[in-house]
């Protein structure tokens, strides 16, 4: 692995902690001048509370000035309030989620006029045409994925293995009309396996491709061994024409490489994956081995990859093919991957903390088959294995010359950093 220390060209600062959230959307406006962020005026080393109020706004990076736009009571540390620029200009309007009474909603703010409009459902991923969004059920996530849910609404309707009416929803951003387009119950009927019975099923991590024609998402459920089984699906923008691209049981993070390919940190089809598909084998064969597996893998991420075969895979949505992305590369760990806008050559990713509690920022050159480390960032030890950990979650700007990360390497602060990568990618 090569090393090239890329310079930080902008950093948020106090008062307050600043963070963006996930890696699947850019906090930078198309002009590259404005940087979206959440501002928390309270201690970040704890889980969200229903009484928390987080400010949303943007930084004018040229002037180093923060502008508040609104506030939200619906956030988490990993994905924020799904704060994002709205297409097609990625400059004049933003959207973020909020809580209103006993429901979660979305707010669209026009930065030019100052007008705010409320939509009846929280957004997740917005189509590149700016007309609609795919939405997850945050009330369901309260029962299935703590740390990625929102506080303040506990609706028992969404508890249980497979609540009626759960799934992914599509919302018209002009009218606010909401429709269930991917029912969870239909996915359970698709190539069912024994471990599905009685498990809690949920759908999340939806992501549109570059032209908005299709989106991908995860179908997950809990296993008797304490683990999670995951399948990666794609679908047309209206939720039809669904395809299961990977059913090995382990898929974590992924990113579209143009409109037809997906890179994903995942487990290739294998004998171990086959055992996890069996409820009996999962309970009686794999569960007793978990303490040994975790003891080994907690000490070294590379050992985890050797035992399971987990690596970056390249999936073709049209052909259904699965291949190893970089056969000659020994990746240090799972990461949050995305491809340079309009460029199938460069993949950006990161790692979780290593033995010295450093997170690594990486660029992969697909043409050369080489990885370059462009930064290392200390991670506060006591936060690493928590729902308030600070992953780097790297994201490209629209030009492909800069990336933005969240980091806690200062120890007492959680801030955002913009890194110039032009010397590596060639622009």
pLDDT tens track for 220-229: 999 988 899 9
Q: With 60 as the cut, is the pLDDT of residue 271 above it?
A: no
pLDDT tens track for 13-22: 999 999 999 9
Q: Which two tokens stand for residue 5?
A: 């220390």
Q: Which two tokens stand for residue 346?
A: 């460069």
- H helices of 289-413, in order, are 290-299, 301-308
CA-based nearest residue to 78, from 107, 44, 102: 44
Q: With 90 as the cut, is the pLDDT of residue 208 above it?
A: yes
Q: With 50 as the cut, is the pLDDT of residue 299 above it?
A: no
pLDDT tens track for 151-198: 999 999 999 999 999 999 999 999 999 999 999 999 999 999 999 999
Q: Which two tokens stand for residue 26?
A: 């850019």
- Burial-class residue 17 by CB neighbours within 10 Å (0-12, 13-18, 19+): buried
Rounded to 5°, the CA angle 184-334-139 comes to 30
Please state the rounded mean pLDDT for residues 277-291. Answer: 59
How many Cα atoms are found within 13 Å in the side-chain-facing hemisphere of 209? 20
Mean pLDDT score across all residues of the chain: 94
pLDDT at 281: 59
pLDDT tens track for 391-412: 999 999 999 999 999 999 998 9
- Alpha-carbon distance values, 22 to 27, 148, 242, 415 (Å): 10, 11, 25, 14
Q: Cβ contacts of residue 288 below 8 Å, gap of 6+?
A: none
CATH superfamily of 2-425: YVTN repeat-like/Quinoprotein amine dehydrogenase (2.130.10.10)
Total residue length of the chain: 427
pLDDT tens track for 250-264: 999 999 999 999 999
Strands (E), 281-412: 311-316, 322-324, 338-339, 346-350, 358-365, 370-378, 395-396, 402-407
CA-based nearest residue to 250, from 274, 267, 234, 233: 267
Share of the chain above pLDDT 90, in %: 89
pLDDT at 152: 98
CA distance 18 to 11: 10
Q: Which two tokens stand for residue 36?
A: 């979206």
Instruction: Give buried/exposed letters for 162-186 (b at 16+ CB in 10 A, else e).
Output: bbeebbbbbbebeeeeeebbbbbee
Q: Cβ contacts of residue 101 below 8 Å, gap of 6+?
A: none
pLDDT tens track for 333-388: 999 999 999 999 999 999 999 999 999 999 999 999 999 999 999 999 999 999 99
DSSP H/E element including 365? strand 358-365
Give the domain ranges of the chain: 2-425
CA distance 160 to 143: 8
Give the 3-state secondary structure of residue 422. Answer: helix
pLDDT tens track for 115-124: 999 999 999 9
pLDDT at 293: 47
Q: With 80 as the cut, is the pLDDT of residue 284 above it?
A: no
Q: With 50 as the cut, is the pLDDT of residue 80 above it?
A: yes
CA distance 340 to 361: 14
pLDDT tens track for 172-183: 999 999 999 999
How many other C-beta atoms are found inside a 10 Å radius of the C-beta of residue 80? Answer: 26
- H helices of 300-421, in order, are 301-308
DSSP assigned state of 199: P
Q: With 90 as the cut, is the pLDDT of residue 303 above it?
A: no
pLDDT at 308: 76
pLDDT at 282: 54
**56 pLDDT tier (thresholds 50, 70, 90):** very high
């Amino acid at each position: 692995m090569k090393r090239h220390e890329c310079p930080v060209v902008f950093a948020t600062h106090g008062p307050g902690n600043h963070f963006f959230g996930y890696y699947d959307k850019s906090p930078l406006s198309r002009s590259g001048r404005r940087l979206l962020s959440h501002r928390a005026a309270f201690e970040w080393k704890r889980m969200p509370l229903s009484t928390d109020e987080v400010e949303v706004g943007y930084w004018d990076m040229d002037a180093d000035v923060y502008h508040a736009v609104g506030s939200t009571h619906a956030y988490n540390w990993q994905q924020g309030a799904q704060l994002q620029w709205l297409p097609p200009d990625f400059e004049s309007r933003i959207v973020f989620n909020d809580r209103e009474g006993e429901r979660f909603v979305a707010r669209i703010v026009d930065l030019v006029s100052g007008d705010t409009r409320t939509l009846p459902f929280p957004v997740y991923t917005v189509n590149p045409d700016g007309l609609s969004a795919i939405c997850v059920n945050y009330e369901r996530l309260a029962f299935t994925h703590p740390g990625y849910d929102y506080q303040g609404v506990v609706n028992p309707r969404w508890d249980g293995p497979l609540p009626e009416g759960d799934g992914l929803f599509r919302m018209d951003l002009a009218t606010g009309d909401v429709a269930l387009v991917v029912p969870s119950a239909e996915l359970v009927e698709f190539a069912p396996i024994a471990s599905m019975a009685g498990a809690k099923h949920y759908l999340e991590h939806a992501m549109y491709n570059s032209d908005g024609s299709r989106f991908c998402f995860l179908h997950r459920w809990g296993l008797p061994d304490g683990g999670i089984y995951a399948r990666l699906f794609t679908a047309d923008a209206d939720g039809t024409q669904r395809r299961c691209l990977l059913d090995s049981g382990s898929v974590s993070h992924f990113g579209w490489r143009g409109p037809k390919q997906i890179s994903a940190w995942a487990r290739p089809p294998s004998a171990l994956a086959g055992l996890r598909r069996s409820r009996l084998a999962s309970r009686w064969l794999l569960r007793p081995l978990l303490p040994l597996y975790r003891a080994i893998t907690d000490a070294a991420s590379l050992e985890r990859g050797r035992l399971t075969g987990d690596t970056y895979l390249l999936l073709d949505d049209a052909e259904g093919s699965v291949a190893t992305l970089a056969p000659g590369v020994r990746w240090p760990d799972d990461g949050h991957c995305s491809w340079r806008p309009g460029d199938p050559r460069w993949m950006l990713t990161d790692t979780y903390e290593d033995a010295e509690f450093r997170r690594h920022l990486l660029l992969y050159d697909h043409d050369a088959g080489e990885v370059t480390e462009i930064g290392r960032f200390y991670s506060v030890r006591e936060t690493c294995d928590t729902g308030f950990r600070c992953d780097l979650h790297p994201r490209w700007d629209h030009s492909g010359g800069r990336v933005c990360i969240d980091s806690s390497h200062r120890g007492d602060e959680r801030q955002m950093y913009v890194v110039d990568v032009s010397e590596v990618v060639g622009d």
